[in-house]
Structure 1
Amino acid sequence: MALDKRIKEKINSIMESKPHIGMDELVEIVKEYAPKPDTDKLINQEYRRMAQRIMSGYKDEKGVRDCFSVKADNGNEYVNVSRTTEKADLQKVRQQLSKKYRGLNKSLRKIDVREQILDGQLSMDIEADQKRRQINE
């Protein structure tokens, strides 16, 4: 089911004028426009979340995560990178982690620029230039 576009429009409108929004406020906006969810579906989602939390906490003796979810023919499956004998499994996990890494690095660079602006190290002209580049990406 597609998300009602009014939800995103209202949230975007708020975020254009405020630097923060609380989760409770977001939930109220969603409740206003979204249909009531299916109870059975919610129960299954909660079980999936519990299973995901268990698997994300599966770590080696040094505290490094061992299991990662990857797309499979029949949905998602978890790969234990310390135990797999399939190089393709490792490549799937590497691709997934690399994509997340690149996205996080872009966000970190954006934060660095904003901190410099707030510290007065960069002019507002540079901020405007950054916005133009983000729009073009």
Structure 2
Amino acid sequence: MNSKEVSELFGISKDTIRYYERVGVIPPISRDHNGYRVFKTKDLNWIFLVKSLRNAGLSIDSLIEFAALSQMEGDVRSHQKQILKNQLEEVEAKLAQMNKVRELLVYKIETYDEHIAQFQSGELTDNKVEELWKKIFIEKK
């Protein structure tokens, strides 16, 4: 597979792929006799992994470290695995926060009409409203 095909497959620019290779985010890509990159399945896996981890917030530096470890001799796999575990923890924390925001949005949508009616009737006022942060973040714990 060539650079254009890989770019289209993963929705990233050829410049990004070249950058990832240049800085060491992905291992070096083999070349044909004309010097063009020839992507193998292992290269596609690296690009997919890097794109996914970048989307999840992993830094370029961490990706460089991860890729460099894959090219070293010796027992580096546990260190690579730890990088992945650390990223999983960060993703899980973000997901927990996003779930709380989702709960808030669902609650606001479900109660919107009721709250508007209560404000219009005078049952709720600017000084007499629910403590939203307690409802969503304290009651759910």
TM-score where L is the length of structure 1:
0.37
Max Rg structure: 2
More strand by share: 1
TM-score where L is the length of structure 2:
0.36
